[in-house]
């Protein structure tokens, strides 16, 4: 369960990106976040892994107040979330395998078991056999898949993706959307921001719409 | 604990890979550190050699105790501690009494390593053998006094001086000669040399800390993306920092090894000329390199400098909260 309670975020420059947002997302839900550019979608998503902190209100994940988490505890929060950020943020000097391995390397996962998990994650995103390649040699859609494999390799119960289909042509975007749907089918709570909610329309997901930092629809 | 060791092992591999991937940079840094460290290390080895050379040349510093010739030759007796007023007593008997009285006093001294009695006749014979016999030949009587040659346990000039002062006051002792002047000078010079090495090591150590600081700063900059992504994926501060510590320490160790190589090469190049030089002075001396403990010390010191530079760099550049 994710709970936003009267959350406001005012950036250092004085711009109010979120203004009194109250919102609940149940376990296992597929939620699509939309809104115009600058509406506050990324800001909302960044509050969950405590990349940003709210200036007012509280954000809770499974009854843990992540908006008041001490700095030392933040890494452990992030390990339980699957994150796909707006730019894919792959490491271009590492192979596909090593990119996906990173979350497991961070926790000191035993190498044998880690290799099995990486293979399973790559299988789920359809990149089996591409382990030894470098991200620069992959298409944009494939890079996005690597980023998704990296997000799910820790088997998180919540998956957060910020515009995972941006910069992709429609066919690729639909494939990525279907991928998230499949994780959601497996019981994972999925929260995705997008400019194109129609990609997910066939699964009639929960619609959340922001405009100028305020909730229009939830 | 096992996980912690494993994470350290991963960080170590990570750092070694980074070092190996930029062989030229690694080599240059190791050379800079090595050459800078070789200076104080080499100077230290040199001082060590000079100290042992000095010990070899002088043996142990000695005190010469000369007995009063007047007491021995004159039948006067008034200046003799053991005067018994018997005029018929032989001159030799008088000598023996004084000598044995001094000997008893010497035996009571705890600081002595050894002492040896040199009768005036033997001293004269030694002098004649040394080629000065012609000068002495003109003299009717042997002008030399009986003497004791004393060596001490300690090499501390202060101990020598205190003892010599005390002996000077003994009855029948006409002169105490101390060859501690040069010992003192050597001690002072070695002390000065050691201080210079310390200052040199401190200054160059500081320079190496700065070099490491900057190397790590650049490493942090080139790995900015990796650090950011790792943080987003749940990496803790220690996880982020560990590879940098290993990087700095490994670079320090490489620098220390280069320093040892330079010192060894220097010793190898100098060993023959120095032996030849020593031979012209009639001394047997071989220049020796650092022993195992000193070698280990140099590498450990270099590793410590690497760690310190990294620590400062990491505190400065890796603490901003994400
Ligand atoms: N770090 C920041 N400092 C200051 N202002 C920021 C910062 N991040 C975002 N903003 C501002 O907050 C507002 C909301 O930004 P946000 O990135 O959440 O919008 P968005 O809905 O994700 O937009 P887009 O669809 O373009 O990604 C914008 O006006 C933006 O300029
Ligand atoms: Mg955004």
- Where in the sequence of chain B do the CATH 3.30.70.3040 domains occur? 62-179
Q: Are residues A104 and A67 in the same domain?
A: no
Report A:133-152 residues touching B (Cβ under 8 A).
Answer: 150
CATH number of residue A21's parent domain: 3.40.50.300
What distance in Å separates the CA atoms of residue A8 and residue A210, rounded to the nearest whole number? 13
Give distance in angstroms: CA of A89 to centre of ligand 1: 18
pLDDT of residue B234: 93
CB-based contact (8 Å) between A89 and chain B?
Answer: yes
Q: Are residues A73 and A176 in the same domain?
A: yes
Q: Which of A201, A99, A205 is nearest to A152 (CA)?
A: A99
Domain stop point among A155, A175, A194? A155
How confident is the model over B21-51, as pLDDT tens digits? 888 988 998 999 899 999 998 888 888 888 7
pLDDT band at B193 (very low <50, low <70, confident <90, very high): confident
- For ligand 1, is residue A213 a contact (CB within 6 Å)? no
Q: Is A108's CB within 8 Å of B322's CB?
A: no
Residues of A in contact with B239 (CB under 8 A): 75, 106
Domain stop point among A132, A155, A178? A155
What distance in Å separates the CA atoms of residue B182 and residue B186, rounded to the nearest whole number? 6
- For ligand 1, is residue A43 a contact (CB within 6 Å)? yes
The H-assigned helical ranges of chain A are: 41-47, 74-78, 96-106, 111-124, 140-152, 170-185
pLDDT band at B136 (very low <50, low <70, confident <90, very high): low
The answer as to whether A85 is a domain residue is no
Q: Are residues A99 and A9 in the same domain?
A: no
| CATH architecture type of domain B62-179 | 2-Layer Sandwich (3.30)
Q: Is B234's CB within 8 Å of A105's CB?
A: no
The answer as to whether A54 is a domain residue is yes
Please enumerate in sequence order all residues whose Cβ is within 8 A of that of B110, keeping only pairs 6 or more positions apart, or say none. Answer: none
The answer as to whether A138 is a domain residue is yes
The 3 state secondary structure assigned to chain B is CHHHHHHHHHHHHHHHHHHHHCHHHHHHHHHHHHHHHHHHHHHHHHHHHHHHHHHHHHCCCEEEEEECHHHHHCCCCCCCCCCCCCCCCCHHHHHHHHHHHHHHHHHHCCCEEEEEEECHHHHHHHHHHHHHHHHHHCCCCCCCCCEEEEEECCCCHHHHHHHHHHHHCCCCEEEEEECHHHHHHHHHHHHHHHHHHHHHHHHHHHHHHHHHHHHHHHHHHHCHHHHHHHHHCCCCHHHHHHHHHHHHHHHHHHHHHHHHHHHHHHHHHHHHHHHHHHHHCCCCCCCCCCCHHHHHHHHHHHHHHHHHHHHHHHHHHCCCCC
Which residue in this structure is represented by tokens 């010990």?
Answer: B55
Contacts for A109-115: CB closer than 8 Å, 24+ residues apart: A110/B6
Q: Are residues A51 and A70 in the same domain?
A: yes
The answer as to whether A151 is a domain residue is yes
Please enumerate in sequence order all residues whose Cβ is within 8 A of that of A53, keeping only pairs 6 or more positions apart, or say none. Answer: A47, A67
CB-based contact (8 Å) between B232 and chain A?
Answer: yes
With H, G, I as helix, E, B as strand and everything else as coil, classify residue A105. helix
With H, G, I as helix, E, B as strand and everything else as coil, classify residue A211. strand
With 0.90 as the threshold, say if the pTM is over it.
Answer: no
DSSP letter string over A57-94?
Answer: EEEEETTEEGGG--GGGHHHHHTTEEEE-SS----TTS
CB-based contact (8 Å) between A218 and chain B?
Answer: no
What distance in Å separates the CA atoms of residue B21 and residue B23, rounded to the nearest whole number? 6
**Beta bridge mates, B115:** B150
**Which whole-number Å values give the CA distances from B276 to B53, B186, B283, B286, in the listed order?**
14, 23, 9, 9
Å between A145 CA and nearest CA of chain B: 16
Q: Which of B247, B218, B205 is nearest to B41 (CA)?
A: B205
Q: Are residues A97 and A149 in the same domain?
A: yes
Better-scored residue on pLDDT, B102 or B90: B102
If you measure CA to CA, which chain B residue comes closest to A153? B233
Q: Are residues A11 and A70 in the same domain?
A: yes
Q: Which of B28, B50, B37 is nearest to B261 (CA)?
A: B37
Å between A182 CA and nearest CA of chain B: 22
pLDDT of residue B92: 59
CB-based contact (8 Å) between B108 and chain A?
Answer: no
Number of the ligand 1 atom closest to the C-alpha atom of A45: 18
Q: Which of A203, A151, A136 is nearest to A174 (CA)?
A: A203
Q: Are residues A206 and A171 in the same domain?
A: yes
With H, G, I as helix, E, B as strand and everything else as coil, classify residue A173. helix
Q: Are residues A68 and A174 in the same domain?
A: yes
Q: Are residues A168 and A143 in the same domain?
A: no
With H, G, I as helix, E, B as strand and everything else as coil, classify residue A179. helix
Which of A71, A103, A108 has its CB closest to that of B3? A108
Domain stop point among A115, A136, A155? A155
How confident is the model over B267-288, as pLDDT tens digits? 999 888 888 887 887 667 788 8
- Asked whether the predicted pLDDT for residue B58 surpasses 80, the reply is no
Cβ(A84)–Cβ(A159) below 8 Å: yes
Better-scored residue on pLDDT, A70 or B123: A70
How confident is the model over A71-94, as pLDDT tens digits? 999 999 999 999 998 776 899 999
Give distance in angstroms: CA of A191 to centre of ligand 2: 13
Structural domain harbouring A136: 90-155
What distance in Å separates the CA atoms of residue A31 and residue A194, rounded to the nearest whole number? 11
- For ligand 1, is residue A17 a contact (CB within 6 Å)? yes
With H, G, I as helix, E, B as strand and everything else as coil, classify residue A7. strand
Structure-block tokens of residue B62: 């000695």
Confirm whether the ipTM is greater than 0.85. Answer: yes
pLDDT band at B94 (very low <50, low <70, confident <90, very high): low
Which of B229, B234, B322 has its CB closest to that of A89? B229
- Asked whether the predicted pLDDT for residue B80 surpasses 50, the reply is no
How confident is the model over A90-149, as pLDDT tens digits? 999 999 999 999 999 999 898 899 999 999 999 999 999 999 999 999 998 899 999 999
Domains contained in chain A, number:
2
Give distance in angstroms: CA of B37 to centre of ligand 1: 52
Q: Are residues A60 and A165 in the same domain?
A: yes
Å between B225 CA and nearest CA of chain A: 7
Q: Are residues A65 and A136 in the same domain?
A: no
Q: Are residues A1 and A76 in the same domain?
A: yes
Residue-averaged pLDDT of chain A: 93
Q: Is B229's CB within 8 Å of A108's CB?
A: no
How confident is the model over A23-61, as pLDDT tens digits? 999 999 999 999 999 999 999 999 999 999 999 999 999
């Amino acid at each position: 369960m994710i709970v936003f309670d009267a959350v406001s975020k005012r950036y250092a420059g004085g711009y109010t990106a979120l203004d009194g947002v109250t919102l609940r997302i149940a376990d296992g839900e597929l939620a699509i976040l939309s809104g115009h550019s600058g509406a506050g979608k990324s800001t909302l998503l960044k509050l969950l892994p405590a990349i940003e902190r709210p200036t007012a209100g509280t954000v809770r994940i499974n009854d843990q107040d992540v908006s008041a988490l001490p700095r030392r505890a933040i890494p452990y929060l992030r390990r339980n979330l699957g994150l796909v950020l707006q730019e894919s943020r792959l490491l271009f000097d590492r192979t596909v395998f090593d990119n996906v391995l990173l979350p497991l390397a961070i926790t000191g996962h035993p190498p044998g078991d880690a290799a099995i998990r990486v293979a399973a994650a790559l299988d789920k995103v359809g990149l089996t056999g591409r382990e030894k390649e470098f991200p620069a040699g992959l298409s944009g859609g494939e890079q996005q898949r690597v980023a998704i494999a990296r997000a799910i390799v820790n088997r998180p119960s919540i998956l957060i993706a910020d515009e995972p289909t941006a910069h992709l042509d429609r066919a690729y975007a639909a494939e990525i959307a279907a991928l998230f749907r499949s994780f959601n089918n497996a019981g994972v709570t999925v929260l995705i921001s997008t400019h194109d909610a129609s990609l997910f329309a066939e699964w009639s997901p929960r619609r959340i719409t922001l405009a100028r930092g305020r909730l229009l629809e939830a | 604990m096992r996980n912690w060791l494993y994470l350290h092992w991963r960080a170590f591999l990570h750092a070694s890979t980074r070092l190996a991937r930029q062989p030229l940079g690694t080599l240059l840094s190791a050379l800079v550190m090595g050459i800078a460290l070789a200076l104080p290390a080499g100077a230290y080895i040199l001082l060590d050699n000079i100290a042992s050379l000095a010990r070899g040349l002088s043996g142990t510093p000695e005190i010469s105790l000369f007995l009063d010739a007047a007491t021995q030759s004159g039948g006067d007796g008034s200046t003799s501690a053991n005067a018994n007023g018997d005029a018929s007593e032989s001159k030799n008997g008088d000598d023996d009494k004084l000598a044995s009285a001094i000997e008893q006093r010497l035996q009571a001294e705890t600081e002595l390593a050894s002492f040896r009695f040199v009768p005036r006749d033997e001293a004269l014979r030694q002098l004649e053998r040394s080629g000065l016999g012609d000068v002495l030949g003109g003299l009717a009587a042997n002008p030399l006094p009986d003497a004791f040659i004393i060596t001490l346990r300690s090499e501390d000039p202060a101990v020598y001086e205190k003892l010599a002062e005390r002996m000077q006051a003994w009855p029948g002792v006409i002169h105490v000669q101390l060859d501690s002047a040069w010992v003192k000078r050597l001690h002072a010079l070695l002390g000065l040399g050691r201080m210079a090495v310390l200052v040199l090591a401190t200054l160059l150590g500081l320079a190496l800390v700065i070099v490491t600081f900057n190397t790590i700063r650049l490493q942090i900059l080139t790995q900015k993306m990796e650090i950011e992504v790792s943080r987003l994926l749940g990496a803790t501060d220690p996880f982020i920092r560990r590879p940098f510590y290993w990087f700095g320490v490994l670079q320090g160790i490489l620098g220390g090894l280069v320093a040892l190589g330079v010192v060894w090469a220097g010793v190898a190049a100098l060993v023959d000329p120095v032996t030849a030089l020593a031979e012209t002075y009639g001394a047997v001396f071989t220049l020796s390199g650092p022993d195992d403990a000193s070698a280990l010390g140099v590498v450990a010191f270099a590793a410590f400098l690497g760690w310190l530079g990294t620590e400062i760099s990491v505190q400065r550049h890796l603490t901003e909260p994400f």
